[in-house]
Amino acid sequence: MIAHDTDTRQRNTIAHHDTSHSSNVNTQITTQDLTNLYPPQTISVPIDHFHNSTLYLPHTNDTFSLRYFFDASYYKPHGPVIVLQGGETSAVGRLPFLQKGILHDLIVATHGIGVVIEHRYYGESIPTKDFSNENLRFLTTEQALADQVYFAKNVVFPGLESVDLTSKTTAYLTYGGSYAGGFSAFLRKLYPDVYWGTLMRNSPTDYTDIRSYRCDCFEWCDTSNLQVLAIL
């Protein structure tokens, strides 16, 4: 039996507000409130998952701390783990969705665990000592996707150490919007044995040359650039 303390249930009684627009999500709950409710966790993951690729030369065997937050207050045995991708920002900014919105609604409906996870090189999930060109070679979607796979295969949630909640025994779903949505789609496409499903919105999954769009903005930009150069 998995025990849930009163504090975790109280998370869900903190002032909830209309979340039809993300900017309105729990506006009266401070960042400190949320990080107190959902203490940051980390998992040690490889900086370089692809030692067979010349793209990442020179290779490294070092690891870094990938930050995540979770809510298991609704969890019941056999419930899924639903991972909200932090995308290109600190994961702290996504914490309100553990309180209200699609992520919250899904973990309530499925008795699952909600996770907000950071993307490498954002927030406090920094793999390298600086952002030099050489060290940024590890900032690729390929490496970041592999981080998520490693997480799903190896995570041990604090307080649930006796339960195997890895992707070997538990359904993992991933969710995101914009880049994080495309990222989620790639996870499902490339690693269907790890991620059972995905939810995405406003998500680019293919590349189109932006100049193929019919828009006068390019002419305006060219004209503006010429005007600036003339002034300089």
Higher pLDDT, 146 or 4: 146
pTM tops 0.95? no
> What domains does the chain contain, in order, with CATH numbers?
6-231 (3.40.50.1820)
CA distances from residue 114 to 98, 120, 131, 204, 218 in whole angstroms, order as listed: 7, 19, 31, 24, 43
> 75 CB contacts (<8 Å, ≥6 apart)?
2, 4, 107, 111, 112, 113, 160
Percent of the chain's residues with pLDDT above 70: 74
Q: Is the pLDDT of residue 27 over 60?
A: no
Where is average pLDDT lowest: 89-103, 119-133, 163-177, 196-210? 196-210
Give pLDDT tens digits for 114-137: 999 999 999 999 999 999 999 999
